[in-house]
């Protein structure tokens, strides 16, 4: 019984937290997304984050906490320059202000905020449908 109560309380806490997160307002965007697109590719961001923010480290649909605001994004980029040697699991390159000025970082931020992951419906993927149809034909 006690475990059931603890579980129910934990679950209700998670529901409340997810509701609060859903209502979070992201900060304003002052950068230029067109300039940011060029910088995103020039700095090789696509290598981990994909061409539209879906990659090894997803950024699309504002899923990353570092995308909450330009300020948080800049803090992450800058603080890592000092902390990266102490955090060997970090594999993102360092971006101190001397290599990526704030204005350019804000442009990249603006570009990343345009990323939306909107995959097609399964029935609209012709290659997948061909595979499924062939598999179904073999079963019959």
- Choose among 51, 36, 33: nearest CA to 104: 36
Q: How far apart are CA 49 and CA 39, in angstroms?
A: 14
- How many whole angstroms separate alpha carbon 123 and alpha carbon 135? 15
Q: Is 36 domain-assigned? A: yes
Q: Which CATH number covers residue 54? A: 1.10.760
Q: Is the pTM of this model over 0.75?
A: no
Q: What is the pLDDT of residue 28?
A: 87
On the CB side of 12, CA atoms within 13 Å amount to 5
Predicted pLDDT at 56: 81
Please enumerate in sequence order all residues whose Cβ is within 8 A of that of 59, keeping only pairs 6 or more positions apart, or say none.
49, 53, 67, 112, 115
Walk along the chain (140 residues) and give the pLDDT tens digit of each residue: 454 555 444 445 444 444 444 445 778 899 999 999 999 999 999 988 888 888 888 888 877 888 889 998 898 888 765 555 555 556 677 788 888 999 999 999 999 999 988 888 888 888 888 898 888 888 87
Query: 113 in a domain, yes or no?
Result: yes
Structural domain including 53 reads 27-119
């Amino acid at each position: 019984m006690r475990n059931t109560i603890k579980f129910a309380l934990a679950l209700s806490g998670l529901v409340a937290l997810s509701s609060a997160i859903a209502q979070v307002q992201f900060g304003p965007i002052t950068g230029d997304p067109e300039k940011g697109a060029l910088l995103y590719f020039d700095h090789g961001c696509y290598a981990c984050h994909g061409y539209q923010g879906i990659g090894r480290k997803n950024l699309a649909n504002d899923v990353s906490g570092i995308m909450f605001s330009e300020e948080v994004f800049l803090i992450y980029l800058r603080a890592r320059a000092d902390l990266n040697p102490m955090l060997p699991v970090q594999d993102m390159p360092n971006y101190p202000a001397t290599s990526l000025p704030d204005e350019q970082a804000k442009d990249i931020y603006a570009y990343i905020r345009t990323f939306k992951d909107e995959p097609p419906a399964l029935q609209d993927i012709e290659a997948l449908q061909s595979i499924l149809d062939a598999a179904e034909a073999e079963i019959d």
